[in-house]
Amino acid sequence: MSTDPDTSGLLRSILPPKRLDRLFDLCGAHGWKLIGAGAVVGALPPVFGLREGYMMTVLSEMFLFAILALSWDIVGGQTGYPSFGNMAFFGIGGYATAILVKDAAVSFPIAMVGAVVAVLVFAAINGLIVLRLRGHYFAIATLGILLAIQQVTRNLDITGGASGKILFDVPPGIVFYYFFLAVLVVEMAVVYYLTQTRFGFILNAIRDDEGKATAMGFNTTYYKTAAWMLAALFTGLAGGAYGLFNTFLDPQTAYNGAWNVELIAMALMGGTGTVAGPVIGAFGLHTIIEYVESSFVGWQLVLLGVAIIVTVIRFPKGVVGTLRAYANEMDYYERGGMAATDDEEVTTDE
């Protein structure tokens, strides 16, 4: 299930695995500089006059989706617990901010703090329930909680019921552009750093074999919950800002079912368990969906479905994972081939 043999011949001549491998090493060695450069490039468009309008919104939403996909990946990709209910964090963050700004008349920054607290409390309770489950059960339980929260939101007065919340007097678009960018950069830095620490190793260990991790002395519940809260934190921040960005929040928008799938698809297509993958996936898929929606109205969701199927069947490792596998295809034999006396059992995938 790695690279497609038909295209790899061409690829091989343009970009041999060796060179790509060196490129990966280079990126790995200069991760901090890359994130810094990304932040600078992201901050530039408004400086050069892009302050509002269509492109501004598109870019803001790209950052937003990258946050959502990367947050999903902390638990789904790094820790191996694929959630189908991450939009619950988004919605709770959004509603908490909206209620604080509109009904309690607090300022935007303070409301965001309130939203973060609300999301973390929710994530802790939610995590207590779902993180005991594995596989199918975990996936569907998270979806069930998302839908239950959506129904509850519809029926409460404080959330404005099905009518939702309208938010006037919101900050201008540029504030949200920089807010989403800043959250994304911070999140990338945090995830990148964590992948190099013992904490990050433990998350990966839980993904690969939770039983073994426990047998090695790790209280996996503790680490899973920490990852879960971290994902909730960033998703909730994004949701909190989005309500104001959009000036309107109802249960349909706040717990958007299509986004819930899109953010998973973005992480998958970019490459789960990596820092760059979900971000690349978010930028790429969002651009494609934008294009399809303007050129072939009504077909964007057909495309999304087909794209998911094709990715899962042909490139389950996503862009980054597939390229990395390609770059590393020879290294096992080169580095340790002589030690591999019984290597007929080489497992190529988990």
Find the binding residues for another protein in span 121-180 (CB under 8 A): 129, 132-137, 139-141, 143-145, 147-148, 151-152, 154-155, 161-164, 166, 168-169, 173
Minimum CB distance to another protein, residue 48 (Å) = 16
Phi, psi of 2, deg, nearest 5? -100, -135
Residue 211 in contact with another protein, rule: CB under 8 A:
yes
Question: Pick from 205, 227, 233, 238: which binds another protein (CB under 8 A)?
Answer: 205
* Displacement of CA 177 from its chain's centroid (Å): 18
Residue 186 in contact with another protein, rule: CB under 8 A:
no
**Spatial separation of the C-alpha atoms in residues 33 and 221, rounded to whole Å:** 34
Residue 335 in contact with another protein, rule: CB under 8 A:
yes
Amino acid in position 69: A
**Spatial separation of the C-alpha atoms in residues 225 and 214, rounded to whole Å:** 15
Chain positions 264 to 323 lying near another protein, rule: CB under 8 A, are 264-265, 268, 273, 289-290, 293-294, 297-302, 304-309, 312-313, 316
Residue 225 in contact with another protein, rule: CB under 8 A:
no
Nearer to another protein, 114 or 243 (CB): 243
Nearer to another protein, 61 or 187 (CB): 61
Residue 86 in contact with another protein, rule: CB under 8 A:
no
Residue 26 in contact with another protein, rule: CB under 8 A:
no
Nearer to another protein, 58 or 158 (CB): 58
Bridge partner residues of 165 (DSSP): 249
Of 91, 93, 86, which Cα lies nearest the Cα of 138?
Answer: 86
DSSP state, residue 15: S
270, 319 Cβ separation under 8 angstroms: yes
Residue 252 in contact with another protein, rule: CB under 8 A:
yes
Nearer to another protein, 12 or 151 (CB): 151
**Spatial separation of the C-alpha atoms in residues 104 and 117, rounded to whole Å:** 16
**Spatial separation of the C-alpha atoms in residues 57 and 238, rounded to whole Å:** 15
Those residues with Cβ within 8 angstroms of residue 117's Cβ, 6 or more apart along the chain or in another chain = 96
Residue 230 in contact with another protein, rule: CB under 8 A:
no
Amino acid in position 195: T
Contact segment (CB under 8 A) with another protein among 4-12, 51-59, 100-108, 177-185 equals 51-59
246, 296 Cβ separation under 8 angstroms: no
Residue 31 in contact with another protein, rule: CB under 8 A:
no
Contact segment (CB under 8 A) with another protein among 67-75, 110-118, 177-185, 331-339 equals 331-339
